[in-house]
């Protein structure tokens, strides 16, 4: 496997279900991200993990719960979702430097999980 | 706050024609600019990026983009479009690595249709 992989690619769940999305990066990066992509809206950053610590949570509802057990894996646990949560969920990773010289941070994306909440 | 505007929601071009996708940004510091492409059912793939130096940046798949600071623009161009270029294109402005700002801000995207 290369790059960033996500499983499952498609998921249909009821509002009372509990499911998890998985992301794995094979790039040796130290930061991982969850984005939500809804139709006609810009990508929304949900969570950021840097060196396995959550550093940003953009006011995401608690029905979304991230987990980052190590620098290569990222999960998004889902429970009691709403129909408006139906979207494409994208995972990304990047290599963050310790500081000093400024270089742009490039994020590499997985193919996404298409989620439908009924 | 940083923001990105892609004025064109949908563009249709004929195969072999030239293409220009527009992107305007607002960013308080030195902008780091990206173009990503998303094919149907796929994630985002990086086409090119700019952060300093030559304002004309070459990317993959024959794409290029020109940074114009005076116009706050970073338009994407291709001289001859192929049918496989049909996809959605996203412009983004982002942080520098190691900074405290982690946010990569995307535009809403431009959907490109290519007619045979």
Q: Are A45 and B36 inside 8 Å of each other by CB?
A: no
CB-nearest to B43 from A41, A94, A112 is A112
**CATH number belonging to the domain at B3-115, selected among 3.40.50.10490, 2.60.40.10, 3.10.580.10, 3.40.50.300:** 2.60.40.10
| Domain layout of chain B by residue ranges | 3-115
Beta strands in chain A (DSSP E): 4-7, 10-13, 18-25, 31-37, 44-50, 53-57, 64-70, 73-79, 87-94, 108-109, 113-117
> What Cα–Cα distance (Å) separates residue A87 from each residue in A55, A83, B6?
23, 9, 21
CB-nearest to B97 from A40, A96, A112 is A96
Q: Are A112 and B102 inside 8 Å of each other by CB?
A: no
Kindly report, residue by residue over B61-114, the tens digit of the pLDDT.
999 999 999 999 999 999 999 999 999 999 999 877 777 777 889 999 999 999
Query: What average pLDDT is seen over chain A?
Result: 91
């Amino acid at each position: 496997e290369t790059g960033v992989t996500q499983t499952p690619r498609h998921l249909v769940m009821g509002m009372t279900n509990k499911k998890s999305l998985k992301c794995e990066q094979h790039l040796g990066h130290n930061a991982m991200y969850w984005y939500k992509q809804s139709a006609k809206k810009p990508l929304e950053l949900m969570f950021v993990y840097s060196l396995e610590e959550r550093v940003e949570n953009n006011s995401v509802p608690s029905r979304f719960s991230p987990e980052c057990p190590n620098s290569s894996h990222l999960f998004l646990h889902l429970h009691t979702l709403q129909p408006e949560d139906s979207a494409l969920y994208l995972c990304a990773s990047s290599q963050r430097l310790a500081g000093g010289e400024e270089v742009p941070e490039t994020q590499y994306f997985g193919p996404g999980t298409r989620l439908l909440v009924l | 706050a940083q923001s990105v505007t892609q004025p064109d929601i949908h563009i249709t071009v004929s195969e072999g024609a030239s293409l220009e996708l527009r992107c305007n940004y607002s960013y308080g510091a030195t902008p780091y600019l990206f173009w990503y492409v998303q094919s149907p059912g796929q994630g985002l793939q990086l086409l090119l990026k700019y952060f300093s130096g030559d304002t004309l940046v070459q990317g993959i798949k024959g794409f290029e983009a020109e940074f114009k600071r005076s116009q706050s623009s970073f338009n994407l161009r291709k001289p001859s479009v192929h049918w496989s270029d049909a996809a959605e294109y996203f412009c983004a402005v982002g942080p520098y690595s190691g900074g405290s700002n982690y946010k990569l801000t995307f535009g809403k995207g431009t959907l490109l249709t290519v007619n045979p």
